[in-house]
Structure 1
Amino acid sequence: MSVASTSSTSTPTHPARGRLGHRLSGAAVALGCVLFLGGFVWAALVYRPYTVPTDSMRPAIAPGAKVLARKVSGSEVHRGDVVVFKDPLWGDLPEVKRVIGVGGDTVACCDTQGRMTVDGKPVSESYLGGGAASVSRFSTTVPHGGLFLLGDNRPVSQDSRVHLDDAEHGSVPASDVRGRVEATAWPLGQAGLASRTSAFDRLPGGGAAGGGPLPWLAAMVVAGAVLILGGAAYEPAVKLLRRR
């Protein structure tokens, strides 16, 4: 007497494929965490936020805007850079101005076309938005190791022109610089990287410095967030598909 055997069919599973997907999703989450946290840590080491309290930098920076300044030394500052500095003769709070002259430059205003000149060469300051280069005439030589700083909103800015009678002839020591502004973080409608001016490029020594690593840091944070979300969503998505 023989006994017939019965067999049952079942939906084939792919354990090897499942394990591979699990490992890949875990690796994506791990890499995402490294990129996401690494981007924030790197940014905290390189950049510092500041609030611009006045309208002296209009139209480039509105009053109340929060900017990100890359931590640099005074020796890394170039003409055309927008810098954050703190000088005891100017006040107790950090200020934001644009570098017009560096040590040894003769800065004067204005030529026959109303333009600022540096060492006798006219500077076309497009960032002024059509405003006057200065409402007052002056001429001064920047001491070595100093910076001549002006706000973009020249009619209202309290800057180096106000301090021309000081011992430093309106300049501040380059060592007073806290950072170079490279982006606006707030308000969101004005958020973005700071525009580099080419106004001083033809002068000896060149003009404004190039951008820092901020775009790469932002890309790291975004890529990290995508990997974390994608890796975390993999297994729930696979289970949902299997049920269907």
Structure 2
Amino acid sequence: MCDGWSTKNKHPIINRMIYYSEASNKADGTRLMLEMPHIFWPPCAAHCVDLEDIEKAKKITSCIYNNDKIVNLMKSYTKDRELLRPGITRFATLFISIESLVRHSMELKRMCTTPERVSSIILDNKIWKKACEVCLVMEPLVKVLKLVDQDKKPTLAIVYEAMDRAKPGIKGVVKDWQTYWTVIDKRWYKMLLKHLHAAAYFLNPILQYSGTCNYTDELRQGLKAVIKRPDPDINAQS
């Protein structure tokens, strides 16, 4: 989907193109920026914050929902409540599934009476302890997902600040927060963070006049990089 802004004389100011965030499109976007330096290609924030697969949780839900008899048995223990249900965003389904598994853990334990592999996973107390921790850690990130995966208003200017709020939220609920921060930072700096996000944060008037905006070197460098992008000669721009 394409759109843009132009002057009264129809001179283009800003053009934008929205695409689906597949690996092939990422490669095309990177190549396009190399060929045309004035173009910015920011990746999809929702895809970058997206949760990775947790195989053991998937084994439980797959085993149950691939067999109608097991589904009916499960519902008899959960009082017709589903383990899989629509997420608040398109990309938070796995988190919702884990949260649902934790909520119905006792019912699932009572349901399992055979020594099969899925049964051993459900009856493993370590799995449930870790699942509870995952729910606590992912809650702040799901809030970011809700924020960036909506169509009501542009989100480019608030992604940076949203991640800044999510990390302290994780630190406040788990002891091993540094491990999670390391994973988040690796994904943030490698996949998502672009100079455009820093510049949008810097120029967002709501944040600028809130009194809480922290103008770090990272933000200033991002702003300068965006200003220089159309023409590296600042004097020529003026």
TM-score for the superposition, normalised by structure 1:
0.29
Higher relative contact order, structure no. (Cα contacts within 8 Å, ≥ 6 residues apart): 1
Structure with a larger share of its residues in strand: 1
